[in-house]
Chain A
Amino acid sequence: MATISLRNVCLDYPLYGAYDFSLKRRLLGHLIREKGEMRIIRAVDNVTIEAEAGARIGLAGPNGSGKSTLLRLIAGVYPPSSGRVAISGNVVPLLGLNAGVNLDFIAEDNIALLLRISGRKPTRAVIDEIWAFTELEERMQRLPLRMFSSGMLMRVLFATATAFPADILLLDEWLSVVDEHFAEKAEQRLQNLVSQAAIVIIASHDQPLLRRTCTSIINLDHGRIASAVAVEPPSPLSFELREKRA
């Protein structure tokens, strides 16, 4: 059963300046008794979130309000400075699309590698299915990603990242580069993925997207939870309209 439980979690993010990366400087600082004060900002401040299976949580807030850091904390990238984090279920963080791409490799190899990183076996059928979703030409599979335009690259990466369902899905600022046609298709797939995942947390500036996808929206400000609102389910009328369009 997938659950996420954050209790009074804080994260102090150390800001390493050029000097903080220097061992010599640090040793010297010890010798001359220089106060080695580390600059720290509190990126996540006393956040409590309880999510059971079925929760769809949107994170909103201005740049630097701690959305991405909170997602990384849930993914286990950053250890919390205080508080308790308990997560059960298989977490699939899709925070940056570019993660793990090697532009010199051909598309097919990149897909295979990305699948392996997420613990899946890249079979021919899976890769073909992913490629079909991108709607790119067959022969482009054999081209290095360097030759792809940013939109095409995004298609490939999106298709790969969303090929398999997850228990807990963490998404950060998605669907910004691709053209309108693909964006629509991608959102549909995302909705599909979201409907299969037990828990979804999406960080985005796109308020309409959050309202369509989430059951509650948490507004963050300077790492604190400024407000949390529940979203009423979309009216059945608009739902029908959407279905017709699809």
Chain B
Amino acid sequence: MHHTSSPPRRPSVLHIFKIYYPDLFGGTLTVIRDICASLKDAFASSVLTCSRSADRREIIVNDVPVERVRSFGNVMSLPAAPAYPWRLWQKIAEHDLLALHAPFPLADLVFALGFGRNRPLVVHWHADIVTHAGLRWFIEPLMRRTLRRAKAIIVSDRVLVDETPLLREFEDKCHVVPFGIDTSVYDWPKIEPHHVNDRGRLVLACGRLVPYKGYDVLIRAAVNRKFEVWIIGEGAERPRLEQLISELGLGDRVRLLGSVNDCERIKLMCLADVFVMPSITNAETFGLSQLEAMAAGRPVVNTALDTAVPRVARHGMEAITVPPGDAEKLGEAIDALISDPERRRRMGLSARTRAVSRYSAIAFREGMESVYRAAITAPSNEAAPIAEAPRPTGWLDSLRIAAALAWSDMRHRYVRSLLGPFWMSLQMAIVVAVLGSVIGQMSNADMMSRLPMLALSMTAWTFLNSVVLDATTALQNSASLIRDRALPPVIFLLQCTFRQGLFALHNACVPLLLWLLLTPHDLSGALAALPGLSLFVICTFGLSLVLGALATRYRDLKPIIESTLMLAFLASPVIWSSDIINHRSTVMRLNPLTHLFAVWREPLVGGHVDAASIIYVLVALALLLCASVLTLVHLRKAAFWI
């Protein structure tokens, strides 16, 4: 709070994106770099990103401080950087404005949980999620929450708002700021193409070697043609493309140039006869490199995507637009330009004019600055009552509704009795007392010291047993809410876990009291047991989800589940423990419940968990997760079953 420096402090902006220089070069990164550079008089920029390199965490790139959080590789095009949300949360408070470059679900997670509410947020919408569209159901609610709290959404072209359903919901927040480039660096009046390459047939493409760029289409288009293709860029597709080139025997005409520095790239742009942008999916939203080619006065061949690509360079004026993925048409279009120098010259000229007039760096800077300033000065009162339209479809809302239902179930237990759910605890105490005395008779061991663990195991078993049993009837019992209020069925399965969780907390009084009375108080194990206990709860929920849905679809499963649970109770070390029977039986070792209990019981008594148990439980958890995902897909049809 001691900002006494005399010049007015520039507001600071934190740019949030998954990757940054020097790890990679690409369109989105160029945009972020250009924003940082062009706004440096008005805003102090910094970048928080992920990086796979283990060396220095804080570096300076083009005068901009960049903090890199360690990532352990990519999972589904996303960096696996578990520390990123944590660092982001810490950094939020240090900055006046947050600029999220979407899509980046890792950051959405932070904003969706409501962190950084008091800092204005601007979302740069670079692209929708196209490649891993199967994850949409999970990520879209997160993105929606982020967009809801954003002060402004910046897109590069109007068409993105029209074509993206998610953006249409927030139409009033969207600002169109077309990218701009500094066209002066492309003024190379002395280098006319024929001075260097008089063959007049050089075709250039530029971008990361990733599948959506469609370079395989470009390579196929070069078959049986005369032009040469040079591709600037690096990426994971390289081996595949190299193989394709050699398979098609194009080694002498198609070259992958790899990464090329800015100066060299500009020169190549000025040399080329035709620039090609063969991208095949809507992940290509703008095509900054085609704009660079336009600035260099090159005619463009691009593809008819639903994004700004065919609107930056328009068919028949600055470009020839062909259907995406069509190698034949692409080749024809390139040939048409190659064979017609006059048309090339004309298109190149109008491309240059359009780049200078429509996509200037100054307009871009002014657009960005005004949006940023407006976001900072806008009052940050979050409580806009109209904005918080309730949508019971997001999974966070599902959680909330399930919790509210479970809470009301529990409260209802208290309505007509003073003790409420404690009646069940009383019952539990009696069961434990009787069982304890019986087991005490059977084995000579000191029963008193065992009692707390017996009670705790019974509590846990009761929890698992009743969650699964409740789940088998939950959907039928809530039929009217599902069919008439359109609530997602998964809410009612969650409700079972929550409700029984609350009851289990009541029941937990019995083991707690016994522990306080009977054994020396040693708390060290409790903390170590927590991970195991949460595994237990998650597995229980997964089990109830799968069995609950199945039992609703196939009604004859319910009695089978009931008797299986009874059997499982007898075959699992709930009322007995492995050292009461002196050898470990095969049934017990194969029973997953044995291990599910072991992962939290062992640490609690100060022992060590068997590695085999942990692996067993994790494998069971993975299987349950797969089954749960399948179940969630099928739950869409649950309304037909009830």
Contacts and interface: CB of A to CB of B under 8 A. Distances in A.
A119 B554 contact: no
Given A22-B556, A77-B639, A95 B485 contact: yes
Contact of A21 (B404, B480, B485, B555): B555
Most chain A CB atoms below 10 A, which of B389, B400, B401, B484? B484
Contact of A22 (B397, B483, B555): B555
Contacts, number: 99
B491 to A, nearest CB: 9
A98 B640 CA distance: 19
Contacts of B169: 88
A117 B391 contact: no
Contacts of B404: 113, 116-117
B483 A105 contact: no
A175 B391 CA distance: 26
B411 interface: yes
Nearest to A113: B408
Contact of B405 (A90, A91, A113, A119): A113
Nearest to B171: A1
A112 B401 CA distance: 12
A25 B165 CA distance: 44
B90 to A, nearest CB: 31
Contact of B639 (A1, A78, A94): A78
B639 A118 contact: no
B219 to A, nearest CB: 36
B68 to A, nearest CB: 39
Interface residues of A, number: 40
A102 B168 CA distance: 39
Interface string B391-423: 111000100110011001001100100000000
A14 B637 CA distance: 10
B520 interface: no
B260 interface: no
B553 interface: yes
Contacts of A98: 480, 484
A76 B486 contact: yes
A120 B390 contact: yes
Given A16-B640, A22-B556, A109-B408, A167 B485 contact: no
B408 A75 contact: no
A96 B480 contact: yes
B482 interface: yes
Contact of A79 (B400, B637, B641): B637
Interface string B366-401: 000000000000000000000001111100010011
Given A96-B480, A99-B481, A119-B397, A23 B408 contact: no
A6 to B, nearest CB: 15
Interface string B461-491: 0000000000000000000111111110000
B390 A118 contact: yes
Contacts of A1: 168, 171
Nearest to B388: A119
Nearest to B172: A1
A32 to B, nearest CB: 17
A13 B480 contact: no
Given A88-B169, A99-B484, 11 more contacts: A14-B640, A22-B555, A23-B554, A23-B557, A88-B168, A90-B390, A90-B391, A95-B486, A106-B415, A112-B408, A119-B397
23 contacts: A14-B640, A21-B553, A21-B554, A21-B556, A23-B550, A25-B556, A72-B486, A76-B393, A77-B486, A88-B169, A91-B486, A96-B484, A99-B483, A100-B480, A104-B412, A113-B405, A116-B400, A117-B401, A117-B485, A118-B485, A119-B392, A120-B390, A167-B389
